[in-house]
Chains A and B, each alone.
Chain A
């Protein structure tokens, strides 16, 4: 079965410091992987996606993620956090061989302090 595990339920950083949100996936096939962000009382916004092209994927707002097959990881990083980055982040997998549903991780809450 396909799944994603977000290793941290809550990450706290100071403004201007790097961000690392960790995600491991499990998939029998070559998956599509995504990071979505959800600000309080808002919808889900796509940050970036991996679909078997370049392993280093650049997204919006300075975020990027690296697909590492050997480690089954897809960690999200940003060099310098901004106050506006405070939100809930979801790592998501879509198993290409098994329907259309996205499978979400449990989410990581990112807090940014000044």
Chain B
């Protein structure tokens, strides 16, 4: 079965640089979520989109922005990177509606290292 695709899988950046992470949801899933998992931490919700509109917002820094495109893929843009942004970034997707009752399926994650 098709899964959530994230690219790149690994990314190394310098402080103050920008990064763009991409997420391709499972086909026919219209809701996308982004999570950040710091070293040894549990995943923390950043933001979600339903039908290309932001549906929920968590602890996403102002330096980060995200959007969902017409083909339902999503991009997380991160600017002025800081050392503390080093983490595993997960994208998840769910099949129907605003996601209140649907399971979220996670991608393999993008490991961002900021030097």
- Residues of A at under 8 Å CB distance from B? 32, 34, 36, 42-46, 49, 51, 90, 94, 96, 99-107
Whether B108 pairs with A42 at a CB distance below 8 angstroms is yes
Complex CA–CA separation, A105 to B44 (angstroms): 10
Q: Are B48 and A44 touching (Cβ within 8 A)? A: no
Chain A's nearest CB lies how many Å from the CB of B44? 8
A44 to B43, CA, bound (A): 10
> Does B103 count as interface, using CB distance less than 8 angstroms?
yes
B105 nearest in chain A by CB position: A46
A44-B100 contact, Cβ under 8 Å, with A101-B33, A102-B45, A107-B42: no
Q: Which residue of B lies closest to A32 (CB)?
A: B101
Say yes or no: A104-B48 contact (C-beta < 8 A), given A32-B101, A43-B107. no
Chain A's closest residue to B108 (CB) is A43
Q: Is the Cβ of A51 less than 8 Å from the Cβ of B109?
A: no
A101 to B36, CA, bound (A): 12
Chain A residues whose C-beta falls within 8 Å of the C-beta of B56 in the assembled complex: 99-101
A105 to B39, CA, bound (A): 15
B31 at the interface (CB under 8 A from A): yes
Residues 79-109 (chain B) with a chain A CB within 8 angstroms: 90, 92, 98-101, 103-109
* 4 tightest A-B CB contacts, nearest first: A101-B45, A104-B42, A44-B106, A43-B108
Q: How far is the CA of A96 from the CA of B99 in the complex (A)?
A: 9
